Amino acid sequence: MLARLGISVRSGFGRVVPDPFAIAVLLTAAVMLTALAGGRAPLDLLRDWGRGSGLWKLLTFTMQMCAMLVLGTALAAAPAIRAGLSGLARRVSSPRALVALVALVSIVLSLLNWSLCLVGGALLAREAGREAARRGTSVHYPLLCAAGYAGMMTWHGGFSGSAPLKATTAAGMTEVLGPDLAARAGVIPLTESVLGSLNMVVTGGLLVLGPLLFYWLTPRAGDDPDAVACDRSSRVSAPAEVREPPSASAPRTWVERIEQSSAIVWLLALPMAAALGLTLAEHGVSRLDFDTVNLALWCGALVLHGRPARFLAACEDGVRGCTGIILQFPLYAGIMGVMAGAGLSAALSRSLSAVGGGAFAVMAFLSAGLLNLLIPSGGGQWAVQGPILVEGALSLGLPVSDVMMAMAYGDQWTNMLQPFWALPLLAITGVRARDIIGYTAIWMLAGGLWITGCLVWMV
């Protein structure tokens, strides 16, 4: 019944929700009209929107997010990572255990890096399906692929979470909140957000709940008449996102020998590794930020690919996924500028603050979940909601870190209904969104109950 409900909900969203870029444009228009109706002068509104405090405020953030997507995709596509995932699939024979393993690995990868989870979870699901087909084992392939996507409901509580990483530096807080609000809120080290007690309980619980849920969701052979045949996974060819780069021709000149040499990789990887070690030694994990995470991804992808051509080909595949980030983040920044200039952010903060202490965190979670259906980007959502929620938390005397994480949980929560981030998995596995959405909806409902309970109990 829940699976059929999930499919119906997703079909409904597909009919009424336009493309994310169109949504960003419509939100921009709606905020502008609201500001004009509230008495903001047209010329002042255009200044709020079109200048450095508007459209171009998040350029650094945009580049950081693009780099994370590109480098995480490249790391997941490295031969050693792919071989390791295939080896994991071969070690498990029970269909239920195989589905639970895919969910567990997807969630663990998401806590390391969201783009690594997107590609790695899909690759493991596909390899698990192929391995089951080779052994003649009956396994529900759509559920296997849904398990590979499970980590996108836990990623914002991990070490690549957009809001927690942005909050670890004064510059990052100022970029999103503005100088005055950032000064009042202060920086939030990871020991208070990702490594804080609230996230340890919430994300730790999801880490246990996810594999167990997918284990018990696994049907017996023949129970689902609409299931995609498992052996279909053996016929899915490697898509563009993870294709093998073309073999380089034999070098004919000394310049080509240098270009194809692994020495080029090590000339860059060694100083990167040294710089990464120095950063961690001086600042520790609590001050981990976007730049440090991206440096680690870059260094790891370089070393694991081993050759410049392989690394560059994998990065080129990742670049294709950056279009939405590049075009939509300036629009989110413009929305921020208009809302701040017209006083809309402050008005929304006062309205949310009226609900009181513990309920405020739950409201932050639920509103973030709703907004994620319109803005499918954790970074973009933190940019739009951050000033409102931080102002409300300060006025109520609540820990800013807990309210920020409540927003983060809402952002990741409805990814199970949001098709934007599922596209890489669908391309790699060969399934359709309608094949997996019923199972991801059940995961969303179970996880949402757990997160809500934790927020009521702990905030």
Sign of the torsion angle spanned by Cα atoms 354, 355, 357, 363: negative
Residue 242 has pLDDT above 60, yes or no: no
Specify the pLDDT at position 223: 58
Q: Which of 8-12, 33-37, 78-82, 225-229 has the highest mean pLDDT?
A: 33-37
**Residue 246 domain flag:** no
The C-alpha atoms of residue 446 and residue 418 are separated, in whole angstroms, by: 17
SS3 content of the chain, % helix, strand, coil (to 5): 75, 0, 25
The C-alpha atoms of residue 407 and residue 430 are separated, in whole angstroms, by: 32
**Residue 8 domain flag:** no
Residue listed under structure tokens 């739950």:
362
**Residue 435 domain flag:** yes
**Residue 287 domain flag:** yes
The whole-number average pLDDT for the span 85-91 is 82
Specify the pLDDT at position 156: 94
Specify the pLDDT at position 346: 65
The whole-number average pLDDT for the span 303-314 is 88
12 pLDDT tier (thresholds 50, 70, 90): low
Predicted TM-score (pTM) of this structure: 0.75
The C-alpha atoms of residue 285 and residue 207 are separated, in whole angstroms, by: 21
User: Residue 309: left if φ>0, alpha if ψ -120 to 50, beta else—which one?
Assistant: alpha
In this predicted model, what pLDDT tens digit does every residue of 349-380 receive, in sequence order? Answer: 567 666 766 688 998 999 888 877 766 677 77
Residue 24 has pLDDT above 90, yes or no: no
Q: What is the DSSP letter of 231?
A: G
The C-alpha atoms of residue 142 and residue 201 are separated, in whole angstroms, by: 30
Specify the pLDDT at position 193: 95
Specify the pLDDT at position 427: 67
Short-list 205, 152, 200, 166, CA closest to 381 = 166
Question: Which amino acid is residue 176, in one-letter code?
Answer: V
**Residue 79 domain flag:** yes
Specify the pLDDT at position 153: 95
Mean pLDDT, all residues of the chain: 81
**Residue 98 domain flag:** yes
Q: How many CB atoms lie within 10 A of CB 152?
A: 25
In this predicted model, what pLDDT tens digit does every residue of 206-240 receive, in sequence order? Answer: 999 999 999 988 876 655 544 544 444 433 333 33
**Residue 2 domain flag:** no
Q: CA-based Rg of the chain, rounded to a whole angstrom?
A: 22
In this predicted model, what pLDDT tens digit does every residue of 163-194 receive, in sequence order? Answer: 998 899 898 899 888 899 999 999 999 999 99
Q: Report percent pLDDT > 90 for the chain.
A: 29
Residue 88 belongs to domain spanning? 20-232+253-458
The whole-number average pLDDT for the span 131-140 is 79
Stronger pLDDT, 221 or 140, i.e. the higher one: 140
The C-alpha atoms of residue 214 and residue 440 are separated, in whole angstroms, by: 10
**Residue 6 domain flag:** no
Residue listed under structure tokens 């991990």:
158
Short-list 391, 379, 296, CA closest to 343 = 391
Short-list 192, 83, 163, 86, CA closest to 132 = 86
Number of domains in the chain: 1
